[in-house]
Amino acid sequence: MKTLHVDLGSRSYDIQIDPGLLDRAGEKIRTVCPKAKRLFVVTDSNVGPLYYDRVKASLERSGFSSSSHVVSAGEHSKCVTELEKLWEDMMEAGLTRTDAVVALGGGVVGDLCGFAASTILRGVDFIQIPTTLLAQVDSSVGGKVAIDLAAGKNLAGAFWQPKTVLMDPETLNTLDDQTFSDGMAEVIKYGCIADKGFFDFLCAHPSRTEITANIEHVLYTCCDIKRSVVEEDERDTGRRMILNFGHTIGHAYELAGNYETWTHGQAVSAGMVAAVELGVKLGVMEHNSEIATLSDLLRSFHLPTHIDCDWATMEKAVGLDKKSEGTDITMIFLREMGQALPTRMGKKAVLQSLRAS
């Protein structure tokens, strides 16, 4: 087992990575939730049939009673309507403040479940069991939980750290290629922003087969980078912003496709290339050869390097970006591969530069 400790004082927790961990989920949760009698498991229509029975059996072996709530798989479930249904179902199940909720699934389930946990009964304990690559390397760690609004992605949310994160790499074996590739966009992001050696490692292993053969190394490296960033800046006011590399423009692509045409990973992929291109144009990055290197790596995982977006949507997305303050926004560029550079700019200047690209 590989273990990482996220040191946040009273909100500290461990990230545990181990094949077969689903079957030991109950004993691991018991160590961090010793008073809990009931666990309320949130999953989706894809993951539930695959893994809920195994997790439920593990929970019951550790003395927990459990109930579940299943949402339809997809970004559309991360909404106010589903949140309200989840709150009501939690109350009907008899959840109390000493109990806990468990997110079993990908990023949508983790965000929705975590936000419900942060608000129901003014906050109950929360456990992440991520089952997609994107969730394992990114969204399950760091305590950001949210739902989408009609105005944009993740605009209603909270910081609510999990009690533990349990990652079973074997769950990735059931992912289709597109979902695995979506996660690779976030994996590649970590190399771009913080670890040139890891980026080079990914370039040397440009296929799902090669990544899977090294999956524990990949998961550990990504989570270790995110752990260090979150420990330094839990509330996303400084260094943690670098984790949003590719996301400002990527969110515009998601919005343009009404969260249906482009997945999060696909949008971030094209958003990273656009950010590097803009950084080169503005003189932040000197070597434009990195554009081709990054694009080639993304394409090896069947990720897009360009997405068309109407200008009104781009303006709206930049205006609503959570890294903005007044008329300014913090754009995440790369000084060089492996070194992110947050850059404060006026929103108008960003939009003008993007429009001229």
Tell me: the pLDDT tens digits for 22-65?
Answer: 999 999 999 999 999 999 999 999 999 999 999 999 999 999 99
Report the distance separating Cα 228 and Cα 233, nearest Å: 9
Q: What is the pLDDT of residue 353?
A: 85
Tell me: the pLDDT tens digits for 264-294?
Answer: 999 999 999 999 999 999 999 987 789 999 9
Among 47, 77, 50, CA closest to 260: 77
Domain ranges within the chain, ordered by starting residue: 2-174, 177-356
Q: What is the pLDDT of residue 288?
A: 79
Q: What is the pLDDT of residue 326?
A: 80
Q: What is the pLDDT of residue 287?
A: 73
Q: Report which of residues 232 and 322 the model is more confident about.
A: 232
Separation in Å, CA 321 to CA 127, 252, 257, 315: 28, 10, 17, 10
Q: Do domains 2-174 and 177-356 have the same CATH topology?
A: no
Q: What is the CATH class of 177-356?
A: mainly alpha
Both structure tokens of 321 = 């970006």
Both structure tokens of 233 = 């800046």
Tell me: the pLDDT tens digits for 125-153?
Answer: 999 999 999 999 999 999 999 999 988 88
Q: In terms of pTM, does the model score above 0.85?
A: yes
| 199 contacts: CB under 8 Å, gap ≥ 6 | 188, 191, 192, 297, 337, 338
Please check whether the domain covering 2-174 is classified as CATH 3.40.50.1970.
Answer: yes
Kindly state the helix (H) or strand (E) to which residue 68 belongs, with its residue range: strand 65-71
Tell me: the pLDDT tens digits for 175-233?
Answer: 999 999 999 999 999 999 999 999 999 999 999 999 999 999 999 999 999 999 999 99
| 95 contacts: CB under 8 Å, gap ≥ 6 | 38, 40, 101, 120, 121, 124
Among 140, 141, 93, 148, CA closest to 120: 93
φ, ψ (nearest 5 deg) of residue 4: -120, 135
Tokens 């179902």, residue located: 89
Report the distance separating Cα 299 and Cα 270, nearest Å: 10
Q: Residue 73 — very low, low, confident or very high, per pLDDT cuts 50/70/90? A: very high
Among 266, 202, 275, CA closest to 244: 275
